[in-house]
Chains A and B, each alone.
With several copies, the nearest count.
Chain A
Amino acid sequence: HISAATSLTDAVSELVINYEQMHPDIDLQMNFAPSGTLAKQIIAGAPTDIYISANPKWMEYVQQQKMIEPNSQQILVYNNLVFVGIPNSKITSLQDLLTLRRIALASPQSAPAGKYAEQVLLAAGLYQQLSADKKLIPAKDVRQALLYADRGEVDGAFVYRSDALLAKQARILFTVPQELYPQVAYPVALTLSGSNSAGAQEFLVYLLGADAQSVFKRYGFIAP
């Protein structure tokens, strides 16, 4: 039983199919939902062996509830923040954002991507100005922010690199300098029940292996 954050849906699905082909006797069940939902499910006792969160916060939360094997926790992949928008735009750096009318980002309260974007804007000293002008549009999650940018409802959006690949019309306008925000990490861990399962441990090893990492890379993630 693998519970993975929504943003990993494609990558993990592909890995699971690959793995099942390699080990026909093994049947893996995937469960994709927002990290917070997964965390609560695990705490409520939902059958889960491996938990992949989209941010360390929820991993910590689950760990505090003593539902995972602390030693198994490690970083699966990294991601980074980019700014997307309509291709012919003249936007090439953070400073150009002030010229835009509306900028989407994931909701800082509920999505880590939003939090990171907020930190970036604060660090760049743009936050005051943008929020005073009500130019910031918080969306439900990164995907929705991307959707807005893609449909031209906003002039640009902060999203993860991995998500930016989903865009049809919008393109990456620039990559946000890493020094402005902490690294975006996807921690993985075995749950208590998973630590007793050899299959789960084996799959975890596979996930961290080179084959798997190359797949993640294809989907825009960065290997640790």
Chain B
Amino acid sequence: MLTLTSVDLQAIWLSAKVATTATLVTLPFGFALAWLLAFGRMRGKLLIDGLISLPLVLPPVVIGYLLLLLLGRQGPLGGLLKTLGIQVIFTWKGAVIACAVIGLPLMVRSIRLGMEQIDPYLIHASRTLGAGFFDTLGSLVLPLSIPSLVTGGILCFARSLGEFGATIILAGNIPGVTQTIPLSIYDYTNTPGGEAGALSLCLVSILLSYLVLIINEIIMRRSRRSVRQLS
């Protein structure tokens, strides 16, 4: 049943690479933004919140299009990237950016939810014990946010595995270079009789996400703080 061509294998490897990188890249941003939204007291929180949610609200294709405008040759950031010698469009980095942007709102919402549950007295205890702002962030808020970071990471990873619309615009559908699993599936399903290939790749996607879920369970179990024995 699982018959994979070498192009398929390349797509799987690429998907894993892109999803992992996108998740890792998004985590610090997600953490910082979630902190800002959960604890920050500046004006315009709602604006930032909305801005972060955009990639969720708009169809991925639109996001891809906007990213292309932004990062393309004529785009405001594109020129900058070009002088730095960084090529984003039509490379796997483009896929990472697409996935990261699409995954960010999921990440931020999760982490924020977790952060808002942290007992403010714990944070205060840390501050009175001499830990400065960033120290408390790193040594208390971060470890206590692990469950929500994991949840956010999983959402981002899973979403990246399935991301199609923005990726195909920003990175193109180049087999072996930017063709991730969803793009490959797209090709398969647009070929009459391509169902078998599509199915195999779907299964691989599912396996990959299961792998992540299992890792998640292990992390969660470790960081679970109290005996949770309820009848």
A and B: partners?
A: yes
**Residues of A bordering B, CB below 8 Å:** 1, 3, 6-7, 9-10, 29-34, 36-37, 39-41, 43-47, 57-58, 60-61, 102, 104, 107, 109-111, 134, 136-140, 143-144, 147-148, 151-153, 165-166
Q: Is the CB of B173 within 8 A of A107?
A: yes
In-complex Cβ contact of B191 among A44, A110, A137 (8 A): A110
8 Å CB interface, B72-126 against A: 72-75, 78, 89-90
Residues A45 and B73 in contact, CB atoms below 8 Å apart: yes
Name the contact of A41 in the complex, choosing from B172, B187, B190, B192 (C-beta under 8 A).
B172
Give B residues with C-beta under 8 Å from A.
61, 65, 68-69, 71-75, 78, 89-90, 168-169, 172-175, 177, 186-193
- Which of A32, A152, A165 counts the most chain B CB atoms within 10 A? A32
CB distance from A6 to the nearest CB of B (A): 6
CB-based contact A10/B75 at 8 Å: no
16 example contacts (A-B, Cβ-Cβ < 8 A) are as follows A36-B189, A40-B169, A41-B169, A45-B78, A47-B89, A60-B192, A104-B172, A107-B187, A134-B177, A138-B173, A138-B174, A147-B65, A147-B169, A151-B73, A152-B73, A152-B74
Check A109/B190 contact, CB under 8 A, given A44-B68, A45-B89, A137-B172. yes
Count chain B CB atoms within 10 A of each CB in A46, A102, A152 and give the residue with the most.
A46
* Further contacts, 6 of them, CB under 8 A, given A33-B173, A107-B187, A137-B174: A9-B190, A30-B175, A44-B68, A44-B89, A45-B89, A110-B186
Q: Are A140 and B192 in contact (CB under 8 A)?
A: no
Kindly report which residue of chain A lies nearest to residue B189, judged by CB atoms: A36
Compute how far the CA of A58 lies from the CA of B78 in the bound complex, rounded to whole angstroms: 24
Shortest beta-carbon distance from B75 to chain A in Å: 7
| Shortest Cβ distance from A6 into B: residue | B190
A31–B72 touching, CB < 8 Å? no
CA distance A134 to B178 in the complex (A): 12
Contact assessment for A140 and B175 in the assembled complex, using a CB-CB cutoff below 8 Å: no
Chain A hits for B187, CB < 8 A? 9, 32, 107, 109-110
On whether the beta carbons of B190 and A138 are closer than 8 Å, the reply is no
Bound: A107/B189 CA distance, A:
12
Residues in B with CB closer than 8 Å to A58 are 192
Instruction: Give the docked Cα–Cα distance between A33 and B169 (Å).
Output: 8
Which A residues are in CB contact (< 8 Å) with B72? 43-46, 151-153
Complex alpha-carbon distance, A43 and B74, angstroms? 9
Complex Cα distance A36/B175, Å? Answer: 20
Are the CB atoms of A143 and B189 closer together than 8 Å? yes
The docked-state distance in angstroms from the alpha carbon of A137 to that of B177 is: 10
Contacts known (A137-B174, A152-B73); A33 close to B168, Cβ less than 8 A:
yes
Residues from chain B with a CB closer than 8 A to the CB of A153 are 68, 72-73, 89-90
